[in-house]
Structure 1
């Protein structure tokens, strides 16, 4: 069976809204600022309030940090074990045989993070291009109130290897000509020109920069494949190399991962802890301009 496109348009979603085979999820999280000197870079707040204020009809809400992350980890949003994810997705009625659509507010990175997590579990979901912002801007139907949810399932994952790597692997690939390490943060953070909320300013040595923000257009949809291809090529990202993506907390880099997947790259992985771990560990090398 052919895999679905990782993206679905607002028009396509509107055409299947109300279909009993649709499983639609709002994945929004907000990173709120914390006082200077705090031990954490931000406060992760679930988007349940904005969900209640308005969501796509029939959608359920997924709390990324609360239910779908390893809350014992030092960093936010770390991938938990498979059993935790099976239980959490099962509670929300996830069924790999259904049409699974993910969306978020403000940026697509929260839905692309869930998309990447689900891919690692053997589930091919779709992400709403432009998210709730585009849906709302087009005047499409909106529902308010708490999520009604879907009937629970006994979800069983079929894990795929290689979707996540740790700092040991990243460090070992520095300078490896068969690999390219890509930073999805903005250029000012990649170059170490501004203080970083994650710790030491700078980047993983030798890494190149394809900011996730440059892959999105003003209407929140993703850029064209031709434009994305040109941006990755200019940074030296080629199909013959293993590609390791990172950012601040393993979230915005999943936008790069979705674009690369669409472009046919298949040797892709995510450094899950990203700069949230790397910048705080003095034993790890860091590079600035």
Structure 2
């Protein structure tokens, strides 16, 4: 199994090879809500300008790799829009891509998930820029040389990636596919403020916080720890990993943290994953759809 993660040493070696990967910084900061409805985000480009992996390019996932005409934040774009944006960044269909961020891996994971959807070979730097710095690797700041575009290429969908709201509404109680909320426990329980219309979680879902699957230094926890986290929540990772086809369905607030969930599942061999892209932003806006909160 090829890991969806790449280590600092592996990336360092790859950058010195005859065919180095294109390195993309996907940093974006989505601030924790201070009260219900509080939605604040900052572009990650200033972070990239302050220090980045040499030769990397910053990408704004919220605008360049999202459908900005959609009503919901971060709605996935059409496959061809992704391919066109990648071509502008010097990425062809057969180019290796390494993605990192400085904001907890979730934005790198989102871009990884989009690229994986259309079959681009992408990996995420384990530990992000922090791990790169800690290893004594070189850092640049300021503007970089502009990416040399490649010829436009045609995107093709490589795997199923998305589950619709309607499919979840129609999901029966006998549906054995696990539905996992990747948000922190307080968001799942409804005890923490939410950015969205209502607090709580989709009935029948279980909680595995993606952020809790990473160590304090930003690297992924051990394989055993990740498996135990999912198994402890009721996701039979051995069964879904062995079958290769039994799905795990993921959601969060807007499809971002769920992408980190997909990344951690891929790291333990579970690849049949789909994300509810509208997630709680869409679900909570419809008062006819139920949400559950934990008892005090």
Task: Find the residue that maps to 2:270 and give its secondary structure.
Answer: coil
For the structure 1 residues 223 and 33, does the alpha-carbon distance in structure 2 shift closer, same or farther, using more than 3 Å as the test? closer
| Cα pair 1:44 1:65 within 8 Å, conserved | no
Query: How far does residue 252 in structure 1 lie from its aligned partner after superposition?
Result: 1.2
TM-score after normalising by structure 2: 0.90
Please state whether the residue corresponding to 2:178 is helix, strand or coil.
strand
Residues 22 and 166 (structure 1), Cα distance of their counterparts in 2 relative to 1, 3 Å cut:
same
Give the corresponding residue for 2:86: 89
Match of 2:277 among 248, 254, 272: 272
Q: CA deviation at 1:34?
A: 8.1
SS in 1 for 2:12: helix
**Alignment-derived partner of residue 250 in structure 1:** 255
Residue 234 and residue 32 in structure 1: after superposition, are their counterparts in 2 closer, same or farther (change >3 A)? closer
2:48 pairs with one of 48, 51, 58:
51
1:288 to partner: Cα distance? 1.3
In structure 2, C-alpha distance between the alignment counterparts of 1:269 and 1:276, rounded to whole Å:
17
In the alignment, structure 1 residue 31 sits paired with structure 2 residue 30: yes
Shift of 1:16: 2.2
- Which residue pairs with 1:201 in the alignment? 199
Superposition RMSD in Å: 2.0
48-57 or 150-159: bigger deviation: 150-159
The residue correspondences of 1:43-192 to structure 2 (distance < 5 A) are 43-153=40-150, 154-173=152-171, 175-192=173-190
Are residues 67 and 277 of structure 1, via their aligned partners in 2, closer, same or farther at CA, if it must alter by over 3 Å?
same
SS at match of 1:165: coil
- Residues in 2 aligned to 1:97 and 1:195: alpha-carbon distance in whole angstroms: 43
* Length-normalised TM-score, structure 1: 0.92
Superposition deviation, residue 189 in structure 1: 1.2
Q: What's the secondary structure of 2:170's corresponding residue?
A: helix
Distance 1:228 1:121 in 2: 26
In the aligned structure 1, how far is the partner of 2:146 from the partner of 2:107?
A: 19
Q: Corresponding residue for 2:211?
A: 213
The number of equivalent residue pairs is 285
Bigger mean CA deviation after superposition, 241-250 or 11-20: 11-20
Distance across 2 between alignment mates of 1:181 and 1:23: 34
Take 2:97 and 2:184, find their aligned partners in 1: how far apart are those partners? 30
Matched residue, 2:289: 284
In the alignment, the residues of structure 2 paired with residue 225 and residue 5 of structure 1 have an alpha-carbon distance, to the nearest angstrom, of 11
Superimposed CA distance per residue, residues 89-123 of structure 1 (whole angstroms, 9 cap, x where no aligned partner): 11111123222100000311111111110111111
CA contact (8 A) 1:106 1:133 kept: no
Going from structure 1 to structure 2, the CA distance change for 1:177 and 1:35 (only over 3 Å counts) comes to closer
* SS in structure 1 of the partner of residue 155 of structure 2: coil
**What per-residue deviation string (whole Å, max 9, x for no partner) do you get for residues 57-104 of structure 1?**
010111111211011122211101122212111111112322210000
Which 5+ residue runs of structure 2 have no aligned equivalent? 241-245
* Alpha-carbon distance between aligned partners in 2 of 1:266 and 1:206, rounded to the nearest angstrom: 22
Distance 2:225 2:43 in 1: 32
Q: Structure 2 vs 1, CA of residues 34 and 200 (structure 1 numbering), >3 Å: closer, same or farther?
A: closer
2:14 to 13, 16, 37: 16
SS of 2:204's equivalent in the other structure is: coil
CA distance in 2, matches of 1:161, 1:97: 17
- Give the corresponding residue for 2:243: none
| Deviation (angstroms), 1:228 | 0.6
Q: Note the C-alpha offset of 1:176.
A: 3.5
SS in 1 for 2:132: helix
